[in-house]
Chains A and B, each alone.
Chain A
Amino acid sequence: MSINIKLNGKSISLTHTEALSEVLLSLAIPTQGCALAVNGEIVPRAEWPTWRVNQGDDISLFQAIAGG
């Protein structure tokens, strides 16, 4: 069953539920230096390989910044 999610505001259709890291890999999104939140909560990087994406999830992927 396909599911629909949002990544940084853009709608994306997935053929089946996948782990976060699989989604990012299949979309060929570079993630070096990035953090990620699902529905307003940060998902620690170590959990990306096991965190299942669900129908309607709103994902924010953003780069860490260090300037000051």
Chain B
Amino acid sequence: MISDEAYIRYQRQIQLVEIGLQGQQSLEQCSVLVVGCGGLGSAAIPLLAGAGVGKLVIADHDTIDVSNLHRQTHYQQTQLGQSKVKLTRAYVEALNSQCQVRVVEAKLSGEQLTLECMLADIVLDCSDNMTTRHALNQACYQSKTKLVSAAAIGWKGQLAVYDYGQSSPCYHCLFPFERLATPTRCSEHGVMGPVVAMMGSVQALEALKHLTLEAKQTRANQLHLFDGLINQWQSLVITKDATCKVCQQATTESEAIQ
């Protein structure tokens, strides 16, 4: 049962019929892995902690630079050079002591990444490079952990939830490459703060929905493109690639064993 204190705290959320007491209780039991504590992560993490997610695991190896502050607004100008994950942990603990935070102050990779994805109920990709994005997709595919992937640059954002069902596509089906034609990092290309914060907020929204709602009320495997310059969204259905190295190779291997 939910405590009186928690009921009062989350009342506005519990009031939503789709969430209710049951949804709130399941949030308290959930563990969410957030990879990246930059523009996307700093928008998503406070919303997840505020909503009452029981456990947050936050991974990033970076420190605060003055050029981060226009979009990563939960950091302060007195904190330059300090560890992003440590500051974010302090921020979350001050916001909601009911939320347990564990931080990984490193670039997650290999077995550690696989293990972290396995332990999570849902993963948020808030990273800033294709290599990490592909590694996360691979790890989430292996452990069948839902992945909420978002990216932002300039005025544009992209977002998709991968559920890794039997006939579902994966991130690699959509983007089967690591090299991009143009710079992908905000440091090289520039980004509008509200655009990246919006994408991070929608990541938190999708994660909260997938953690609390019934399956028929949520959607996955769609790519949402946002253009902040004209304030428009476009939604596209992601199709499974029959030749995908990530989600098809495994199927072929298991068929071969049978």
Spot the interface stretch: A10-18, A19-27, A41-49: A41-49
A37 to B239, CA, bound (A): 9
What total of A-B pairs shows CB separation below 8 Å? 105
Interface size band for A: 20 to 34
Contacts of B186 in A (CB 8 A): 67-68
B234 and A65: CB pair below 8 A?
Answer: no
Interface size band for B: 35 or more
Contacts of B177 in A (CB 8 A): 32-33, 45, 64
B179 and A68: CB pair below 8 A?
Answer: no
B179 and A67: CB pair below 8 A?
Answer: no
Which residue of chain A has the shortest Cβ distance to B126 in the bound complex?
Answer: A68
Is residue A63 contacting chain B, with contact meaning CB distance below 8 A?
yes
- Contacts A42-B237, A42-B239 given; indicate if A64 touches B180 (C-beta within 8 A): yes
Residues of chain B in range 151-186 having any CB-CB distance to chain A below 8 Å: 151-153, 156-158, 169, 173-177, 179-182, 184-186
Is residue B241 contacting chain A, with contact meaning CB distance below 8 A?
yes
A66 to B39, CA, bound (A): 12
A21 to B184, CA, bound (A): 25
A40 to B225, CA, bound (A): 12
Which residue of chain A has the shortest Cβ distance to B223 in the bound complex?
Answer: A42
Query: Which residues does B use to contact A, with CB under 8 Å?
Result: 36, 38-41, 125-130, 133, 150-153, 156-158, 169, 173-177, 179-182, 184-186, 189, 191, 196, 223, 225, 234-244
Query: Which residues does A use to contact B, with CB under 8 Å?
Result: 30, 32-35, 37, 40-47, 60, 62-68
